[in-house]
A and B are shown apart, each in its own frame.
Chain A
Amino acid sequence: ETGVTQSPTHLIKTRGQQVTLRCSSQSGHNTVSWYQQALGQGPQFIFQYYREEENGRGNFPPRFSGLQFPNYSSELNVNALELDDSALYLCASSQDWSSYEQYFGPGTRLTVT
């Protein structure tokens, strides 16, 4: 039990739609990172938010965007969904942007049809 929760657990969307995934970090953790884990692969870094500002981004297009709120919650938004966006989306919170201790949530399984 990491204290990091994500919602929803599963989601099915149609190509071209938009989706919002949510994460609730551990209290006191001011950094959240989002990862995409395609089936059978390791997680790929999407971006990180530190104190409500984007603090680094992986190789993902601008249609992947995020928000972080003062109450330790955050969102991942994906516009114009593509079939390849089908994956498990993981958020991970940490006390600080440079901390090695990242606590992962259980993930949201997104299926795009």
Chain B
Amino acid sequence: GNSVTQMEGPVTLSEEAFLTINCTYTATGYPSLFWYVQYPGEGLQLLLKATKADDKGSNKGFEATYRKETTSFHLEKGSVQVSDSAVYFCARDNYGQNFVFGPGTRLSVLP
């Protein structure tokens, strides 16, 4: 089927720690992949995207590389800040029409 799986949260880190949130997908073909972030009380914001294999999306210190061979799009950041506390959603496009989202991973960064 067409689905997105993420590591379960919550993830709790200290400020300046390294972050990895795993994401894998199933699809027929090669979808575009996305990471969205949802801050408390807000809607979804696009964090980064990659549209083809081996592409690396990056924004605000976050990175994710489209790995076709492992069908993965893991999110990483070298040094998290308290302001990064939010829920992160991995998503893939559904043949350009809409998105299939993972269940989300809640990140809490402690000072």
Contacts and interface: CB of A to CB of B under 8 A. Distances in A.
Contacts of A55: 97
A42 B42 contact: no
Interface size class of B (residues with CB under 8 A): 20 to 34
A101 B44 contact: no
Contacts of B46: 101-102
Contacts, number: 58
Of A2, A4, A42, A48, most buried by chain B (CB within 10 Å of CB) is: A42
Given A90-B44, A100-B93, A106-B43, A42 B98 contact: no
Interface string A22-40: 0000000000010100001
B103 to A, nearest CB: 5
A5 to B, nearest CB: 10
Interface of B: 4, 32, 34, 36, 41-46, 49, 51, 89, 91, 93-94, 96-104
B88 to A, nearest CB: 10
A56 B97 CA distance: 8
B44 A100 contact: no
A55 B45 CA distance: 23
A41 B103 contact: yes
B96 A2 contact: no
Contacts of A107: 43
A105 interface: yes
Contact of A45 (B34, B94, B96): B94
A104 interface: yes
Contacts of B91: 42
13 contacts: A42-B103, A42-B104, A45-B94, A45-B100, A55-B97, A90-B44, A97-B96, A98-B96, A100-B49, A102-B46, A102-B99, A105-B43, A106-B41
